[in-house]
Structure 1
Amino acid sequence: MWETIQQIFPYAMAYMTPLLIVALGALYCERSGVINIGLEGFMIVGSFAGAFTIVKLQGNFPAGSSTHLWIGLLVAAITGAIFSLLHAFASINLSANQVISGTAINMIAGSLTIFLARNITGSGNIGIQMGFVPKDIPVLSKIPVLGPLLFTKTYPTTWLVLGIITISAFILYKTSFGMRLRACGEHPQAAQAAGVSVFKMRYIGVMISGALSSLGGAIIIVTYSGEFNGSVAGLGFLALAALIFGQWKPLGILGATMFFGFAITIANVSQAIPSLESIPPVALKVFPYIVTLIALIIFSKSSQAPKAAGEPFDAGKR
């Protein structure tokens, strides 16, 4: 049993990482009062921007260098932040239905990136030569129990994302910016009365969401995928489920995404683990989605979403 867990854990960490950063992006957005159903679309935009940038740069750096990969991740985040302005403008300025706006983002992102990829490569796919290589962390990987689980065969992006969520937890709960952002998602009228620009804070929340979600899409490319194909296999919606499962809190999201990461790992690497070969492959493939539905059913009644999430803000309303 312990050996099976040791085999699964590095894969689970790899699958958890993009889920975690995308769910964190959704957290910023919904804490500001804007629902973001467009996570899937932002991930696709990020994976396209990251893959395209890396392909254009990968011949300009020495063999073994990962500089072009980091640049690709940065470009993906910037592209996502810019692309998110569509959702922000529709939801905040035009007071459009935020669910419909997010759905439109998903449709636009998928079709636009495939169109661009086909014009660039002729096939609709963009493959990179090599992504990050998972490595053991010296000294720490030798720690009993924790070493083989947390510090063996890890990607640098995993530690980047864990660092971002740690900083985010501090920002959201220990800074004036975090307090203002959360106030806009709970009581926007009171926030406005206190001198906070609700429109500005919501724009910032949506742009952070777009940047982090697109970063998550690019992380998939530089870790276990290696190729843009116009899809992220529903991980954006799974990240939204993790946000609800995690009760709109950073630590809750961390636990939820780790749980879903294990579920995805069991489905994807089951054939390589002898102890799981006896389970029908079909059952394992649908396992993550069944787990998601069960989790949402169990936690939906006790979920505590921001009170003003999804509600257009009227500056003249009292």
Structure 2
Amino acid sequence: MASKTSKRSAAPVSTDVSAANPEAVSPRSPCPCGSGRRFKACHGSADAANLIVARPFEGLAAETELIALREFVPSASAPLTLIGADVNTPKITLGTVLPAAAAALTRSDGSILLGMQVQTHTGDLSRDLAAALEWALAAPPSSVLSVVGRATVGKRFGDLVLDEPLEITVHQDFGWWLETEAEAGSEVATSLERANTAIMPTERIAGLAGAYWVDAGEKAHLRWVRPEEEADLMAALARLSAAGELDLGEGSRYVGSFRAHGRLVPVWDLDHDAHPSEWEAPTLAFGARLDEALAATEPLTAAQRRARDGIFGRQFTLR
């Protein structure tokens, strides 16, 4: 394994618990970690390591895409730009899942792969990503971080990476894991072959953030991570449902939604025989109807309230 004599520079330190004196923080004051909770209910509690941050990517331009990559996109990657990056900063790529579900790895040229779907995690996925990235920035080439520790303080993803939309590339296999053709007989290649047998064909729809078509076998689905507050989105969906405009057109059916990391993800069943590109225009048209419904300010009618109750009954939460 190659070695390095100097560590790469990381981003500026953010204001969080690691930069504060916990003894000087009032139990009833906002926690310095930025969670919005009072200190005594957050990092001042005895079980801080197990706290769940409901919206780990709140406020980030890429929030909906990060949720999609974490929860249901099988194979995709996107370049990341480190805050304060210069010519010596290594190339950093965010991926859905890495070999053996590693948290991060460094390649022989010093470039970094950062994994979203990992073996274990704490209650704050944003801090886990930052910890893995900081490890990779200091690690020698050809190193692997299998799991992230259970640190309850430190930087978060947005403290290290520029806040900008992600340029997602969806892959139909895991060939992007291989650094060179020489790895064809390696352990990585063996892991790749196993992963390729389980991958579900996936496509982005119309370049829309958080919107993905997936072939699940017997059915195809559209899953669309939405950025709106849940109450606003539910009211808008109820307006469309009452008007008979909740589906995406012929061959589609709205089946419900799930919550993931503080955002709502509506799901539609789609005609399995239709090509993913055939759903781009219907999805864009639905998006326009949804925007109009979101802009409505009048109270829901009785029919719309009944529709909302029915939609609520088809929700569940991912942990």
* TM-score (norm. length: structure 1): 0.25
Q: Give the number of the structure whose alpha-carbon radius of gyration is greater.
A: 2
- Structure having the larger proportion of residues in strand: 2
**TM-score normalised by length of structure 2:** 0.25
Higher helix share: 1
Q: Which has the higher contact order (CA 8 A, sep 6+)?
A: 1
